[in-house]
Structure 1
């Protein structure tokens, strides 16, 4: 198969546990780009969380916020916010359980509890600045995603709490809150339609639970060696660990670099 485009998750895929890009990953992506293959970031992160990384890799196209905000060569081509009434209901449920939230727009993010240790710990783990404080941010701007800060044992409190929303854990103290029909795959479909490329001509790399739909959609889904075990059955191929040439080895397997 002659693949035309590759989508890359960030955490655990492009970057290691220290949020650094291995040099062999940088070199592999540059080689891929030199061969005329489209390179695209596909992440649960918001754009302001990965701008320096994208610049370092020379990538200006991305699927962000778990498929909600899509940009091709610097220009937005697709967006889908969470309905405001759903955000309002979720804010009420989280308040009853005394759990903090972070509200993510496409160009800024704010929390309703700047002193919450769970929020500080989880956001700091991303190696990004902490959010501003504005409990009413969701009333003023389009919200594409929420962070809910709670422990795993508390997840049942949110079962069916707000119809139409689902939770995906990404940290022991934090979960993404997104529409239940949202995934990176939705953003990738919009991206591929914009370019007129079929999903069979696409490759995707991922390591987390929010990569299941993405790896299933594309022609070649590659899971990192350090992937969550529940992701690996959704992959066509499991490459090596992010710190062991995982991106380079996966691209070699796809026949995209030498």
Structure 2
């Protein structure tokens, strides 16, 4: 297979860089990242996580971080250069819904940190599974007093549909974890984050490769010149990809990069 002119590779974290089961980066992926850097190919994180929960990867030499599904972009030096917040009217409508109709845990990601409205057993179990620290509890009303980059709603798919159609009408949702959804301002996606880096580094989508496994990776995989879905991805994610590789634990990133002769 001819080596395409790839100059940047975007990586999701959970289920992609980190094994879905192992929750660690395999040695083969560490070696692949080093080889990409040695060839002058930029490597960029693209995640639904906050920067605070993603920057542990900085020592691997990443050239930037797309966080909050494209709402907040940070360069390799840790400086933010793009952010897009949720409309305050939507935050007010969600507050009204939570206080008058039904209550459920809501994670709130702001420009100054994160908190969660209620810490339930499900919340604790989910963060333990993801090996993330549970944010501190704080009443959701506090979200009305700050800029919100992303929300995590602990709801099922039926409630998700109702809330996006009737409450958070200036937002859209994606799901990479069965227990909760990510909610971002409408039009925001990992694709938007990619475009910020294309402009910053003078690159094009055709020069990009991307790896992902969740619903929030679909637009990223479609945007990249080569989109790679992990074997653990859902069928809708695989359908958006150019190639389906092995799981992270089975050296999926290494295998795809060598298959396309990138390394």
TM-score (norm 2): 0.91
The residue aligned with 2:6 is: 3
Question: 1:87 and 2:91 equivalent?
Answer: yes
Q: Is the 8 A contact 1:101 1:149 kept in 2?
A: yes
1:40-85 superposed Cα distances (whole Å, 9 cap, x missing partner): 0001111111222x13422251110000001122222211011112
Corresponding residue for residue 216 of structure 1: 222
Residue pair 2:214, 2:237 contacting (<8 A) in 1 also: yes
The structural deviation recorded for 1:171 is 2.5
Distance change >3 Å, CA 198–CA 159, structure 1 → 2: closer
Partner SS, residue 246 of structure 2: coil
Cα drift, residue 120 of structure 1? 1.9
| CA 83–155 in structure 1, closer or farther in 2 if over 3 Å, else same | closer
User: Which runs of 5 or more residues in structure 1 are unaligned?
Assistant: none
SS in 2 for 1:33: helix
Which of 184, 195, 199 is 2:201 aligned to? 195
- Mapping 1:138-217, distance limit 5 Å: 138-161=143-166, 162-217=168-223
Q: Secondary structure at the match of 1:86?
A: helix
- Give the whole-Å Cα distance in 2 for the aligned partners of 1:170 and 1:208: 5
Tell me: CA distance 1:193–1:34, structure 2 relative to 1, closer, same or farther (3 Å).
same
Cα 1:147/1:51, change in 2 over 3 Å: same
Pair 1:117-2:121 in alignment: yes
Show the counterpart of 2:104: 99
- Report if aligned partners of 2:64, 2:75 keep a CA contact under 8 Å in 1: yes
Q: In the superposition, relative to structure 1, how do residues 60 and 196 fare at CA in structure 2: closer, same or farther (>3 Å)?
A: closer
Alpha-carbon distance between aligned partners in 1 of 2:164 and 2:84, rounded to the nearest angstrom: 23
* Aligned-partner Cα distance in 2 for 1:130–1:215: 29
TM-score (norm 1): 0.92
Whether the aligned pair in 2 keeps the contact of 1:62 and 1:71 (CA below 8 Å) is yes
Contact 1:77/1:191 (8 A) holds in 2: no
State the superposition RMSD in angstroms. 1.7
CA contact (8 A) 1:94 1:101 kept: no
Q: What is the aligned partner in structure 2 of residue 235 from structure 1?
A: 241
Unpaired runs of 5+ residues, structure 2, are none
**Distance (Å, rounded) in 2 between the aligned partners of 1:34 and 1:217:** 25
Is the contact between residue 84 and residue 185 of structure 2 (CA under 8 Å) also seen in structure 1? Answer: no
Q: Residue 57 of structure 1: which of 56, 60, 71 is its match?
A: 60
- Paired residues of 1:67 and 1:187 also in contact (CA < 8 A): yes
Change (3 A) 1:20 1:224: same
| Structure 2 Cα separation of the partners of residues 15 and 157 of structure 1 | 32
Q: Secondary structure at the match of 2:92?
A: helix
**Counterpart-to-counterpart distance in 1, 2:181 and 2:142:** 19
Please, which of 116, 126, 133 is the counterpart of residue 130 of structure 2? Answer: 126
Is the Cα–Cα contact under 8 Å of residues 118 and 150 in structure 1 kept in the other structure?
no
1:127 alignment partner, SS class: coil
Is the CA contact (8 Å cut-off) linking 2:87 and 2:170 kept in structure 1?
no
